[in-house]
Amino acid sequence: MSGPGRQLLLAHVTERAWRQQVFSWAKARGWLVYFTWSSVHSVAGFPDLVLVRGDRCIFAELKTERGKLTDAQAYWIERLRGCPQLEVYVWRPSDEEEVLARLL
């Protein structure tokens, strides 16, 4: 499905639903998946998911279509992207094809 109907659908996907979808795809493809259930005592801005499989490590910040990165999230992403051995992404529901390709 593409076009305005798909865009409308994607605009209503919650971050929680998106996280669960990415989590499910990753687990089905053999990734070890970590996410902080409650960030109350965690450092602000740390990415939503850490995925590990073999020699690959992905840090993924998940956002809704209109969600904005906080300053703390942007800081973490910038610093992690400075580590060439890591894969660091900000994924939105409209990035579905990219996400699936990265999880292969």
Contacts of 41 (CB under 8 A, 6+ apart): none
Per DSSP, helices labelled H in the chain are: 4-11, 15-28, 71-81, 96-102
Assess contact for 103 and 31: CB atoms under 8 A: yes
pLDDT, position 5: 66
Domain that holds residue 58: 4-102
* pLDDT (mean) for 6-12: 73
Prediction pTM value = 0.89
Query: Could you tell me which of 78, 94, 98 has the C-alpha nearest to residue 86?
Result: 78
| CATH code of the domain in which 9 resides | 3.40.1350.10
Can you read off the two tokens belonging to residue 22? 């990415």
Count up the domains in the chain and report the number: 1
The tens digit of pLDDT for each residue in 57-102 reads 999 999 999 999 999 999 999 999 999 999 999 999 999 999 999 9
pLDDT, position 10: 74
pLDDT at 48 over 60: yes
Can you read off the two tokens belonging to residue 91? 């994924």
DSSP summary character for residue 5: H
pLDDT at 9 over 90: no
* pLDDT (mean) for 7-33: 91
